Amino acid sequence: MATKTPPAQHVFDRSKPLGEALDGAAVSRLHLRFWLLAGLGVLLDGFDFFIIGVANPLIAADFSVSAVEKGLLSAAAVVGSVFGAALLGPLGDRVGRSRIFRVDLWLFVVFSALCAVAWDVWSLMVFRFALGVAVGLDYPIAASYLAEILPSRARGRWLVAAFSLQAAGILLGAAAGVVILEAYPHVTSWRIMLGFGLLPALLIIWLRRRVPESPRWLAQNGREQEARDIGRALVGVPVQVTDADKERHEAPAEGVGAFLQPRLFSRQWRRRTVFTAAPWFLMDIATYGVGIFTPTLLASLTVHGANTTFIADDIVSTKGTALLDVFLVVGFLLAIFLIDRVGRVPLQLVGFAVMAVALCVLAVGSQRPAGPAPICRWC
């Protein structure tokens, strides 16, 4: 008996809804490529946020900066990132993730160059603030992009891995500071440090030139054929865009309202919003409040010698910062390995407990009796 050829409709029925296909896919080489292209921006964020800590002692000497001015300068990029994320970050929902990926990196290039030629501490603050706006654009867009393309089973691990690249960027900043100080031991070498961010930014711009748009964003913005094409490339099977894929989970708002989306603070989501945002806020107090000033803290606590110069002390404190930053990378690696085994909340509780102990040790160490500080032996 002859077998009938199934109609073409049966072939189409093999396709999966876009969201379901993306969530259930295996991690492919294409996923890893897109993960790296998004994560490299996070690496650059870490470098630009923390290179100021290495440069601070040199800037203070070059511009005769007061303690208040040093604090404002150190905070300028962090404050700028708040404005970038809150006011401009929602642009990613309007114009797409891939377009923001290109625009924010050109802002990195422009304001890194301006930081390198700043003529006084106040112009440097303005340029650092603008650089922070670029960081604020890239940081949430990278997280959104990855959350939209990564399979649900691997999403937590790979998101942590992406944010671990910030630690790699922090370590790169400390290492770049050591190399620059060794090669050019002069008080104005801070200009080279801040301008160095141009190089990775230009490289990432070139690598990101063909980053595709998020298929979920395309589906929600009426570009269904593009969503199907990119979705199929990611999951390896035909996909179809359903009404659920087209639905926007949160209606777009204007200005600050786009940041304070009503649904996040509705009765259903309020508790999750608070228990996500509050720990992140508290963690950043320690990360940025202490991390940016690590070279300054080391210089004041441990590294001064009786017969050393200012530049020599700065080199030693920068080497000590680079060594400490290695532990930040180790912590991220442990989180990547443990997050799906231990769980998010228990891992977070352990992290906060260790941070509390470390901050107490730092507070006790800062109260040591006055006297000549030993030269750091492990640098």
CATH number, domain with residue 201: 1.20.1250.20
Residue 228 in any domain: the answer is yes
Of these ranges, 90-94, 250-254, 356-360, the one predicted with the greatest mean pLDDT is: 356-360
Report the distance separating Cα 145 and Cα 216, nearest Å.
9
What percentage of the chain carries pLDDT values higher than 90? 6
pLDDT tier, 49 (very low <50, low <70, confident <90, very high otherwise): confident
pLDDT in tens, 278-309: 887 887 777 777 777 777 777 666 555 555 56
Least confident piece of the model among 4-8, 60-64, 197-201 = 4-8
Instruction: Taking residues 169-198, report their average pLDDT.
Output: 87
Evaluate whether residue 173 is within a structural domain: yes
Name 17's bridge partners.
240
> According to the model, what pLDDT value does residue 304 have?
52
Helices (H) and strands (E) in the chain, counts: 18, 2
Q: Which of 259-273, 328-342, 345-359 shows the lowest per-residue confidence on average (mean pLDDT)?
A: 259-273
Determine contact, residues 122/66, Cβ cutoff 8 Å: no
* Residue 233 scores a pLDDT above 60: yes
Q: Write out the H or E segment, with its range, that includes residue 16.
A: strand 16-17
Single-letter amino acid, residue 78: V
Residue 80 reports pLDDT greater than 60:
yes
**Residue 80 domain-assigned (yes or no):** yes
118-168: per-residue pLDDT in tens? 999 999 999 999 998 888 888 778 888 888 888 888 788 888 888 888 888
Contact indicator for 170, 50 with CB cutoff of 8 Å: yes
- Predicted local distance difference test score (pLDDT) of residue 289: 75
On whether residue 56 sits in a domain, the answer given is yes
Query: What is the domain range of residue 285?
Result: 14-244+270-365
Q: What phi, psi does 365 have (nearest 5°)?
A: -65, -30
Count of Cβ atoms closer than 10 Å to residue 100 Cβ:
24
In angstroms, the CA 315 to CA 293 distance is 15
DSSP string covering 58-109: HHHHHHT--HHHHHHHHHHHHHHHHHIIIIITTHHHHH-HHHHHHHHHHHHH
pLDDT at 261: 53
Residue identified by tokens 């909340």 is 345
Please indicate, yes or no, if residue 91 is contained in any of the structural domains.
yes
Weakest mean pLDDT among 23-32, 267-276, 306-315, 365-374: 365-374
pLDDT of residue 283: 79
Residue 90 has pLDDT above 80, yes or no: no
Within a domain: 74: yes
Q: Judge whether residue 21 has pLDDT over 50.
A: yes
Q: Whole-model pTM? A: 0.77
Whether 5 maps to a domain, the answer reads no
d(CA 139, CA 284): 14
Quote the number of domains for the chain: 1
Q: In 3D, which of 180, 121, 124 has the Cα closest to residue 314?
A: 180
- Is the model's pLDDT at 249 over the cut of 60? no
Rounded to an integer, the average pLDDT of 326-331 is 81
Question: How far are the Cα atoms of 38, 109, 279, 373 from residue 352, in angstroms, in the given order?
Answer: 27, 35, 9, 30
User: Which of 144, 42, 126 is CA-nearest to residue 89?
Assistant: 144
Q: What is the pLDDT of residue 309?
A: 65
83 located within any domain = yes
